[in-house]
Amino acid sequence: MDIKKRTGQEGFTIAEIVIALSILSFGIVLVYGAFTNIVVVTDNIHSRFTAAYLAQEGLEIMRNLRDNNFIEGGSSAGGSGPSWTETQPAGDVDLGWVAVTSSSNGAYLMIGGGSGDRLYISSDSSQSWQETQPAGDIGGSWYAAASNSDGSHLIVGNYGSRLYVSSDSGQSWQETRPAGDIGKSWRTAASSSDGSHLVAGVIGGRLYVSSDYGETWQETRPAGNTDEWWVSVSSSSDGSHLIAGTGNSGRLYISSNYGQSWQEAQPAGNVNRDWYSTASSSDGSHLVAGVGGGRLYVSSDYGQSWQETRPAGDVDRNWFNASSNSSGSRLIVGASAGRLYISSNYGQSWQETRPAGDANGNWALVTISSNGSRLIAASSTGRVYVADFKSGSVGDGTSWREGLSGSPCDAGCMVDYTTRDSTGLLPWDESHLGIDDQGFYSYGQEAGSTIFKRKIVITPVAGLETEAMNVSVTVYWDYNGKSYSFQANENLYNWY
């Protein structure tokens, strides 16, 4: 007899088991997904905290640079001026120096002699020099020279011969032919900050512009279809604003469209002059123009109006060279058979500076780095001198801004905790910050790469251009396929 015991309970069907397992699996997936999201969010919160720290560190570094400028540069009127040191590119000899150019921070320099002399480059702020030979192992008259902001792209012209460009800081050269396969008396040149836009002028010839690093050229005609003595030319940082001067009783011209069209400027009125010197701020708004056997003029409105300025008093001088920092606030001008002068207030007042002592010199070439920290001056019959503006100051209260105002931080720069002064500011190239073995974030080669990039932009505060600058620090990072950023801002004043 088959006896079955009933328990009152029935088993699960296969369908019920499948449904239960599906619900359980779905719940597990939801819990795991939520846990994963929590981990991702938590990890990115950690990245955001790090970004906030890096942004604040960027502000602190810029404050320190401001403070160092204020303390080391001086703030009271009537400072002692920069301290000059002789440098000897060609050794302990007098030479006829005729051209000089500088990178934005003054680290990369190029200087050339005339009358069969050589061309020299430095990559360590004039501590050492190396001869470079664009035309081979021969001398030349290197009157025309210009550099981009980092010193990698150079242009140099040999008077009575050829024009050359370099894309590796003067280690190698390529001949470029704006006027065709003939020699010309190349007298002046200028470059945009990236080196792509170039200008080159000929004595007794034409003016040429390039927008592709000197690969191709176009003739431009400020004075019409005539040969002129193009003796000076200067460019804004982007190459759009140009100022060009002619000698041999000529005129002065300005362009705001890369030399495609020109307008005559008349600082001295509707008269011919020998415009031997010009200089421009990075945006092209602040200009300087000097006359051989005449006066010196400054403009703050792109050359639309001009004001006579008198470094040497109410007398005519042979103003053979001028240079400006990126903001146009700091200027240096030199007179032939005269003295050398510097200004830190856009040419409103001047102070004589004496690299060679209390004597007249033939100051045929001067330059100032874009950040305003380095000065170079040379005599056409003597020696070469360099100065670091931190070792002295004109002391008009603007020294705190030097190196911070203008290039490279007007377009974006980068710093790390090792940046001690404004000469250490580098153009922002989207490099990732690394972290070294001590746990500090830096751009050093010994640092392992991180996900963070830090960009610093400094712009004058409207209406307070000489008193305050806005510092904007943006930290970028990518995480889990998405891009993030954190920004910190501060108005930086001269002291607090």
Please check the confidence at residue 1 and state whether its pLDDT lies above 50: no
Query: Is residue 457 located within the same domain as residue 388?
Result: no
| Max CA distance (Å), the chain | 139
- Dist. CA 345–CA 405, nearest whole Å: 13
The pLDDT, as a whole number, for residue 82 is 77
The pLDDT, as a whole number, for residue 168 is 97
Query: Is residue 384 located within the same domain as residue 407?
Result: no
Query: Is residue 372 located within the same domain as residue 405?
Result: no
Please check the confidence at residue 396 and state whether its pLDDT lies above 50: no
pLDDT band (50, 70, 90) for residue 75 = very low
How many domains does one find in the chain? 2
**By three-state DSSP, how is residue 92 classified?**
coil
- Kindly report the backbone phi and psi dihedral angles of residue 479, in degrees, each rounded to the nearest multiple of 5, phi listed first: -150, 130
- Indicate whether this model's pTM tops 0.95: no
Please check the confidence at residue 12 and state whether its pLDDT lies above 70: no
Please check the confidence at residue 180 and state whether its pLDDT lies above 80: yes
Contact 485, 494 (CB under 8 A): no
The pLDDT, as a whole number, for residue 160 is 92
pLDDT band (50, 70, 90) for residue 111 = very high
Among 360, 375, 395, identify where a domain stops. 395
Among 346, 375, 395, identify where a domain stops. 395
Query: Is residue 389 located within the same domain as residue 454?
Result: no
Query: Is residue 126 located within the same domain as residue 178?
Result: yes
Contact 197, 238 (CB under 8 A): yes
In a domain, 1, yes or no: no
The pLDDT, as a whole number, for residue 448 is 74
pLDDT band (50, 70, 90) for residue 2 = low
- Dist. CA 181–CA 183, nearest whole Å: 7
The per-residue pLDDT for range 255-310, each reduced to its tens digit, is 999 999 999 999 999 999 999 999 999 999 999 999 999 999 999 999 999 999 99
For residue 104, the domain's CATH number is 2.130.10.10
- Strand ranges (E), 43-129: 83-87, 97-102, 109-113, 119-122
Q: Which residue has the tokens 């069907």?
A: 13
Among 395, 415, 432, identify where a domain stops. 395
pLDDT band (50, 70, 90) for residue 399 = low
The pLDDT, as a whole number, for residue 381 is 87
Select the more confidently predicted residue: 380 or 423.
Answer: 380
The per-residue pLDDT for range 187-214, each reduced to its tens digit, is 999 999 999 999 999 999 999 999 999 9
Contact 142, 132 (CB under 8 A): no
Average the pLDDT over 420-445 and give the result. Answer: 82
Please check the confidence at residue 169 and state whether its pLDDT lies above 50: yes
The pLDDT, as a whole number, for residue 496 is 42
Query: Is residue 367 located within the same domain as residue 409?
Result: no
Cis peptide preceding 267, ω within 30 of 0: no
In a domain, 33, yes or no: no
Question: Could you list the residue range(s) of the whole structural domain that residue 461 is in?
Answer: 47-74+401-493
Nearest of 356, 387, 382, 360 to residue 117 by alpha carbon: 382
Please check the confidence at residue 36 and state whether its pLDDT lies above 70: no
Burial 268-286 (b: 16+ CB within 10 A, else e): beeeebbbbbbbbbbbbbb
The pLDDT, as a whole number, for residue 161 is 94
Please check the confidence at residue 480 and state whether its pLDDT lies above 70: yes
Q: Which residues lie closer than 8 Å to 481 by C-beta, 6 or more apart? A: none
In a domain, 439, yes or no: yes
Tell me the C-alpha to C-alpha distance, in Å, between residue 394 and each of 330, 342, 387, 390.
10, 8, 13, 10
